[in-house]
Chains A and B, each alone.
Chain A
Amino acid sequence: MRHLTHSEIELWVENANVSRAAREHVAICDQCQQRVAQAQRIEAALSSIARAEPASDLSARIIAQLPHAAARPVSHRNPWLGTAMLIAALIGLLLAYQTVLDLSNNGAFELVSYYTAQPEIVTMYPNEAIGTLSAAVPWATVAGVLVVMALVLLLMIRWTSDAATQVAPSAGRHA
């Protein structure tokens, strides 16, 4: 058999498929044995080459340059949360309007004007004055307004919190 080509020597070094004929030839050919030995030494030398080491702070510098500042909050707000907040706000407005109507119908505003014009009534008959005013206030509706306002506040906090915690990189082109 002829001598091994360089390609065959490379395959030999990589322990890849080498023909039986090639193996038999190398077993008896000093030149090919020397070439294989040389290729194996070069292979070993290549494997021993150390990595090029970057400056110790390169990672830190790269991390510092990453577009954290450009990372923008992405709107991942739950749409149901926003809808619920809007509905609650509308209910709150309706209840507030109803409260004003009830206060007006019950004469609470007139009573307050009366007490303001004649404060001595409150001074002289405080229990009666407060009791009368209290009777004119629609407490159930007022409580409903406060509960709905609290609900709106909680939903708003949750909604803004969801958006603030979602940060994603800006979209870019493929590598």
Chain B
Amino acid sequence: MSLFVADWKPSFLQALASSVGTLRGQWQSTRALTIDTAPLVGSDAELVKNHLAGDPRAFAELVKRYTRAIYNVTYRFTGDTQEAENLTQETFLRAWNALPHIALDKPLKPYLVKIAVNLCRDWAEKKNIAQVDSLDAVQDEPTSEDSDPLRTVSDDELRARVRAKLDELPPLYRTVITLRYSEELSYEEMATALDLPVNTVRTHLHRAKARLRELLENEERTTRK
């Protein structure tokens, strides 16, 4: 009889634990199914919130959403595929760590670009690459020379030359042009990304284009000679 009593309690508990385990398993399966099949849409802020709440797919979606933009920035800055990939990856790793501290009411893209640009600047410093050169020599007053030396160049040819000369600009000028024309950031967003006042960003962009124009005109004049 004592054996009967002794066996009875564990068997009850085992049955209870088994039932609870089964129910828990079913609940988790249902939960997982719900999460996996739900479309992953939403604003950046919603994805960041989901990421912070523990949804690992939310940050993956942000990576998919911004890999091209960040790679574009890092590649234009470094001009090197491998370095650009490394810096892009590092950008997202930094963002992963920093997201708990960012303000969710601001656009995420300039913030990610800011991380990328900072990493690029660090990279340039390590490589002793000048990010800007002195443009004091760039004259604001037009010269009396030919006012449009590129007028005989076709649009396609001009595009190719612009693309080639872009690579000859200092990294920071390539970056401001990339942010403005390729990533289509506003001056305010560029200011956030570059951590500079808006007017300074505007000045950088004007100088970058002035240097680009100089390079294009000089090449055309050299070709004519």
Binding site for B on A (CB under 8 A): 3-7, 10, 30-32, 34-35, 37-39, 41-42, 44-55, 58-59, 61-63, 65-68, 71, 112, 115-116, 122, 129-130, 133, 146, 149-150, 153-154, 157, 161, 165-175
| B97 contacts A170, C-beta separation under 8 Å | yes
Q: Is the CB of A166 within 8 A of B54?
A: yes
Interface residues of B: mostly helix, strand, loop or mixed?
Answer: helix
**B127 adjacent to chain A (CB < 8 Å):** no
With contact pairs A4-B142, A146-B12 given, residues A173 and B89 touching in the complex (Cβ less than 8 Å): no
Q: C-beta contact mask, B45-64 vs A, less than 8 Å → 1, else 0?
A: 00000011010100110011
Chain B hits for A59, CB < 8 A: 63-64, 67
Q: Which residues of chain A are near B138, meaning CB under 8 Å?
A: 6
How far is it, in angstroms, between the C-alpha of A59 and the C-alpha of B170 when the chains are bound?
28
Contact of A10 among B16, B111, B209 (CB under 8 A): B209
- Chain B min CB distance to A158 (Å): 9
Residues in A with CB closer than 8 Å to B59 are 66, 169
Residues of B within 8 A of A (CB): 1-2, 9, 12-13, 16-17, 20, 24, 51-52, 54, 56, 59-60, 63-64, 67-69, 71-72, 75-76, 84-85, 88-89, 92-102, 111, 114-115, 118, 138-142, 147-148, 150-151, 155, 158-159, 161-163, 166, 177, 180-182, 206, 209-210, 212-213, 216
Alpha-carbon distance between A49 and B156 when the two chains are bound, in angstroms: 11
Q: A49-B159, A58-B88, A59-B64 are known contacts; what are 13 more A-B pairs with Cβ within 8 Å? A: A4-B142, A34-B147, A35-B142, A45-B162, A46-B181, A46-B212, A49-B162, A49-B181, A65-B89, A66-B92, A67-B96, A153-B13, A175-B111
When distances are taken between beta carbons in the complex, the residues of chain B under 8 Å from A149 are: 13
Q: Which of B20, B75, B97 contacts A171 (CB 8 A)?
A: B97
Interchain CB contact under 8 A, A172 and B98? yes
